[in-house]
Structure 1
Amino acid sequence: MRETNMFKLKTTLGTNNICGPNLIRIRHEKGLSQRQLAKNLQIAGYDVDHHFIRRIENGERFVTDMELVALAKVLQVEITDLIDPTIPVAVQKDSL
């Protein structure tokens, strides 16, 4: 069997995204629970639930560019408000 090498991007903290901490902060500033934010995303046409929000905020979930756009639109913020460029990213090499 042939060995395949894959690279995974994670922060140096081991999280899968760099927007979780800012998502928490912005959501709290707007007085929204995870369920309320998920409901607002659903009303806007995005099929998500509160687990989607929780996993992003906990750094368990990778976030696509389309998801960043959706979050920014629903929260009425700029995409750059969600991204924290100060969180260092490290490339980890995994083999399958």
Structure 2
Amino acid sequence: MRLRKQALGDRNLIGSRVEAARKKQGMKQKELLAQLQVSGVDMNASGLSKLEGQIRFVTDFELVALADILGVSVDWLLGRTE
């Protein structure tokens, strides 16, 4: 497992929660990317890494797809619920 080289950014609220939910399920980034593709969200490995590092913005389509795939609510990803 690689450690993040740079500090978390400030471009989204959900990156750290996406990473935590993905890792809790034992899912690799590659697996999440494949499921995003099936859901109609075109994202590459660099984009997902930047999303998790909170250094890229997240679209509403991505937000909904990530919540569905990870089995969490949009509110949880946004930090509105525990």
TM-score, with structure 1 as normaliser: 0.67
* Deviation at residue 45 of structure 1 after TM alignment: 2.2
Q: Work out which of the two has the higher radius of gyration on C-alpha atoms and give 1 or 2.
A: 1
Task: Indicate conservation of the 8 Å contact 1:35/1:49, yes or no.
Answer: no
Q: Deviations over 1:55-95 (max 9, x none)?
A: 1111110112221111111212111121125xxxxxxxxxx
Q: Hey, which of these two has a bigger chunk of strand by percent?
A: 1
Q: Deviations over 1:10-42 (max 9, x none)?
A: xxx751011011011100011111111001111
Unaligned segments of structure 2, at least 5 residues: 1-7
Larger relative contact order (Cα-Cα within 8 Å, sequence gap ≥ 6): 1
After superposing on structure 2, the runs of 4+ consecutive aligned residues of structure 1 that deviate more than 4 Å are none
Q: Hey, which of these two has a bigger chunk of helix by percent?
A: 2
Residues in 1 aligned to 2:42 and 2:60: alpha-carbon distance in whole angstroms: 16
RMSD: 1.6
State the aligned residue count: 73
